[in-house]
Amino acid sequence: MKILVLMTDPYGGHGGIAQYNRDVLDALAAMPEVTQIVSLPRLVPSTDCVLPAKLEEHFNARSIAGYLWQGLTLALRQKPDVILCGHINLLPLAAIIKKALGIPLVIELYGIDVWSPKPSIFHDWSIRQVDLAISISRFTRQKFLAWASVSPARVKVVPNAIHLDQYVPASKPDYLQDRYCLQGKKVLLTLGRLSASERYKGQDRIIQLMPGLLKQRPDLAYLIAGDGDDRGRLEALAGECGVSDQVHFIGRVPNEEMMDLYNLADAFAMPSIGEGFGFVFLEAAACGVPVLGGGVDGSPDALADGRLGIMVDPDDGKALNEGLLRLLDQPKAVPADLAMYDFALFKHQIRQLILPMCSSLSVTRLQPVAS
């Protein structure tokens, strides 16, 4: 089986979508039935990453037109058996290739980008070409099915995976405590992009509660990791709330320091209202850090409906404040239910969904929904 992959930034990219894409590609590469994976990343070449042996990357297109041309010529030359689309913005190209070659089309559904319809007749047509959709969460699946012309039977949920062998609980690293002057502090952490388009993550909600939290937890320090065009607003908000000394903006964290950062924290919170899943919850929990998230988006899937962490309504300030206080009182420990997200199970799920796509019988069963 040969698979053509259209994705934004798998290897070399940052964030949850890139991590999910990498896990999908690693799972495909582990399948003995897959002989070759031809990947065309849209944004980032994987210059510093070790790629799976079966993966062949092409990255020459610097424009949208160039990407479209390269995708078409690559498909016609490689003649794949399946096409995998990692982002809905790339779906029109994937749909054209599907029609040209008569092969199954699989799309990944991650988060807010698929929660509402694209205002385009061409996108409507592209959606109807989808044979299988793999959704990161039940919430994203529900939002997608509310508008997309795809049979619910073709939309399957495969949540993010956690590589449990890569995350180990450990004592607080001295070098990070010294760097951020956190000795003797109770550290609350949020990790995520500080983008104006992602204000739903909820750092501002926690900042606004910090004055009251400090009255009950005078040793509290709030660490905000990540960077983006919304950082200035959040820093100003911390100043307005009088907590600039207790809220630390540490910027983007290098990959090699990520596990140390989680182990530095006593608690992790991201009271989001627009998260597709929330992979950071799994990373923090794997390091034994108690976690808190919202209950109104895809976060409940990452939190196993409350078995992995506290869930609150992020827009209810009183509930969020009480949840954070409970969170800060919890001891550090790896939840037993985290094993349900182990990468080994993820690989099995991906194989069970992708393998049938190669049989002519499955392709016949998965004809697009009629217009």
Tell me which residue of 252, 261, 196, 249 sits closest to 224, measured CA to CA: 249
The DSSP string of 274-295 is S-S--HHHHHHHHTT--EEEES
Domain 164-341 part of CATH 3.30.870.10:
no
Largest CA distance in the chain: 66
Phi, psi (5° rounding) for residue 4? -100, 130
pLDDT digit string (tens) for 281-319? 999 999 999 999 999 999 999 999 999 999 999 999 999
31-40, 122-131, 253-262, 360-369: lowest mean pLDDT where?
A: 360-369
Specify which residues 226 forms β-bridges with.
251
Mean pLDDT, rounded, of the chain: 91
Rounded Cα distance, 119 and 111, in Å: 18
Specify which residues 312 forms β-bridges with.
294
Cα 231 to its chain centre, rounded Å, is 21
| Other beta carbons less than 10 A from residue 75's beta carbon | 23
Q: What are the angstrom distances between the C-alpha of 4 and each of 106, 167, 302, 331, 352?
A: 10, 31, 29, 46, 18
User: Which residue intervals of the chain bear CATH 3.40.50.2000?
Assistant: 2-161+343-365, 164-341
Confidence bin at 344 (pLDDT 50/70/90): very high
- Assigned CATH class of 2-161+343-365: alpha beta
- What does the pLDDT read at residue 255? 84
- What does the pLDDT read at residue 366? 38
Which residues, other chains included, contact 211 with Cβ-Cβ below 8 Å and sequence gap of 6+? 241, 242, 243
Q: What are the angstrom distances between the C-alpha of 78 and each of 69, 74, 83, 351?
A: 14, 6, 11, 22
Whether 137 and 277 have beta carbons less than 8 Å apart is answered as: yes
Is 51 or 153 the better-scoring residue by pLDDT?
Answer: 153
pLDDT digit string (tens) for 244-291? 999 999 999 988 999 999 999 999 999 999 999 999 999 999 999 999
Tell me the two tokens of residue 320. Answer: 């969020």
| Residues 106, 352, 282, 299, Cα dihedral to 10° | 60
Confidence bin at 363 (pLDDT 50/70/90): very low
Which residues, other chains included, contact 287 with Cβ-Cβ below 8 Å and sequence gap of 6+? 167, 168, 169, 170, 259, 262, 263, 334
- What does the pLDDT read at residue 361? 35
